[in-house]
Structure 1
């Protein structure tokens, strides 16, 4: 069996707010790549619930956060279809993502 690791390093200010973040994914050739935001979700099988960590740096522009959320919503639709094969629900999620983009006034 082979193991791999993905890590996120977060530098905090005096108020424990993220100032900088970098991530590493050895298998993907990513080393100390800077990022302004991350969302990590894991499934707790015992409690049947999603656990998550959402972090963003204090200099993450709001318009970039809106675009990030939009792209996460689109990726959820894709993941859902791959995992379930339910194209109709995935399509609905994509429509919802586009409605979000319009309401959030995202410039694409």
Structure 2
């Protein structure tokens, strides 16, 4: 059986806030740690039948990048729902929400 490892390293400042985030995965292209500004990890807790979340970002991640990051995450969830369950309605609702959020962010950015 094949195994894959995913590793995150978080460098914290004196207030325990993320200063730098790096990651590596045994199946990714290229070798060595790569830098990122944000991670969002969701884990299904079988025992409590709920989702555990870890959301971390560095201070160099802009508000616009953060909004785009979460729109991309939602869009990916919509595609995963379609691929894993075949639920076209739920997938389309998520896609429609993402489209509205993209318009919102674009309108905000045009005013800057």
Verify same fold: TM over 0.5.
Answer: yes
Gaps of 5+ in 2: none
Structure 1 vs Structure 2 CA RMSD: 1.5
1:20 matched residue in structure 2: 20
1:100 paired to 2:104: no
Separation (CA, whole Å) in 1 of partners of 2:26 and 2:73: 23
Separation (CA, whole Å) in 2 of partners of 1:92 and 1:75: 13
- CA apart distance, 1:59: 1.2
> What is the number of equivalent residue pairs in this alignment?
107
Farther-moved stretch of structure 1 (74-83 vs 28-37): 28-37
SS in 2 for 1:27: coil
Using the size of structure 1 for normalisation, the TM-score is 0.91
1:51 matched residue in structure 2: 52
Gaps of 5+ in 1: none
